[in-house]
A and B are shown apart, each in its own frame.
Chain A
Amino acid sequence: MNLFRTALILAKKDLYSELKTKQILTTQIIFAGLVIVVFSFAFDPANNTTKAVIPGVIWVIIVFAGILGLNRSFISEQRNETMQGLLVAPMEAASIYLGKFLANFAMMLVVELVSIPFLFLLFDFKFLGSVPYFILVVFLGSFGFIAIGTFLAALAANSKSSEMLLPLLLFPITTPILIGVVQATKIILTNVEKLSSAIAWIQLVTAYDVIFFVVCFLLIDYVLEV
């Protein structure tokens, strides 16, 4: 299990450097807060119909905040000219991918942990659905989004304008996840009786997660070539 050990070391390195600078995480959380504020202008929180858009808003926050972190994860390596160092280090490309994925995923979860309760609080949303299923959906959705996002961030990092390129690559590819999780979240938050169709969506998202995690794992060797 050398692959996982090196991946963990890399993830630890990323998270340590994040703890030191707190650059990405603060930006992501503040950005998530700003998105919530903007949504409060767009959809009147006092209005009852606003409850219907909450599932969508959750995922817009996750996607936008996530893309900030994804952009940074490979560019920071290039700014410090440590990408070559990583590539010549005695570990596989898949290990670099896995390490970066774990670091991004951990940060994403922290952002969600802060911003989603904050959203419910500000929009005065009474949580009636099932909490374990909600957590499962958020977890699976972010997993897939970050998995494919880390991969495409590695791909886009080769370009000089990678900040602009990444969203264009990422959004069309992640449409199935976004449709699946928004539908599942909507069902779980607003009418729990239809749980079986939410589970069908969860299965779709899980299948997507598995397929793309494997595909990314196989193809990352070609992306991270010297």
Chain B
Amino acid sequence: MSMNLEREKAMLPGTPLTSMKSASLSKILFAGTVISMLVSLYFIFIFAAEESTMHAAQKIFYFHVSSAWLAFMAFFVTFVFSILFLIKRKRIFDTYAYVSAEIGVVFTIIVLTTGPIWARSAWNTWWVWEPRLITTLILFFIYIAYIMIRQMDGVWDKKARLSAVFGIIGFADVPIVFFAIRWWQTKFHPIVFGDGPSQQGGGIESSMLVALLVTIAAFTILYAYLLQKGVSFEKMKFKVEQYKEKLREELEK
């Protein structure tokens, strides 16, 4: 135990104090999130055309797809930072990977809740065993497992190493899962962009597409804000640990 703490303490001089810069960055990102969210709300509810059969219920589509996009992006970021961590062995990469995975899990939960709500009104069922749904569900389980590795007991660098390995394996697994399930059966999700294989039922109106792209952009800014915030929380936690340790040492003297 004492050895771990010593090791963590040795990291202290290496971490630069960039709190001023990150605070202003966080403010900018927060403002950007608020503005872009409001703009996207305008685009969703006023600008975009209403869907002919599903009416207002279809509006959830924008949040659903954007959350899915955000989750996938977050997991990709985890994958990239996992590789970077294994190569460079810097704690900051590990923190980014962890925070990104957490955000990804939260937004996967959002996808898995908005999906059934929409499905109830569109397909008249809460859940179907369909490729994209199962893939998302399995993705969710993989990253829950990832977070469980993070909750293991032990030194941080061991946990960071193991979870980085799992982050890589898990992300590599996702395309294969998707492919396997799509092969297994495919029914419900239309191919929205480009021509579908059946040459019908696909396609999206241009005003809807604009609204969707705006929402996706807003969610990307939201992701950047959450990531930045999460990482600064992790850094604070780390710093508190170090101060606690310092205090403990002084008490022992």
Contacts and interface: CB of A to CB of B under 8 A. Distances in A.
B184 A179 contact: yes
Give chain A's interface residue range (CB within 8 Å of chain B): 20 to 34
B224 interface: no
Interface string A206-219: 01100110011001
Contact of A172 (B141, B164, B179): B141
Interface string B151-184: 0111000100110111011101100110111011
- Chain B binding site: helix, strand, loop or mixed by DSSP? helix
A141 to B, nearest CB: 13
The residue in A175, A183, A212, A215 that gathers the most chain B C-beta atoms within 10 A of its C-beta is: A175
B41 interface: no
- Chain A binding site: helix, strand, loop or mixed by DSSP? helix
Contacts of A168: 141, 144-145, 148
B152 A173 contact: no
B112 to A, nearest CB: 14
Interface string A150-161: 011001001110
Contacts of A117: none
Contacts of A148: 169
A68 interface: no
Contacts of B138: 172, 175
Contact of A183 (B86, B176, B179, B184): B184
A219 B152 contact: no
Interface of B: 86, 138, 141-142, 144-145, 148-149, 152-154, 158, 161-162, 164-166, 168-170, 172-173, 176-177, 179-181, 183-184
13 contacts: A158-B152, A159-B152, A159-B153, A165-B152, A169-B166, A175-B180, A176-B173, A176-B176, A176-B177, A179-B181, A180-B180, A201-B183, A204-B183
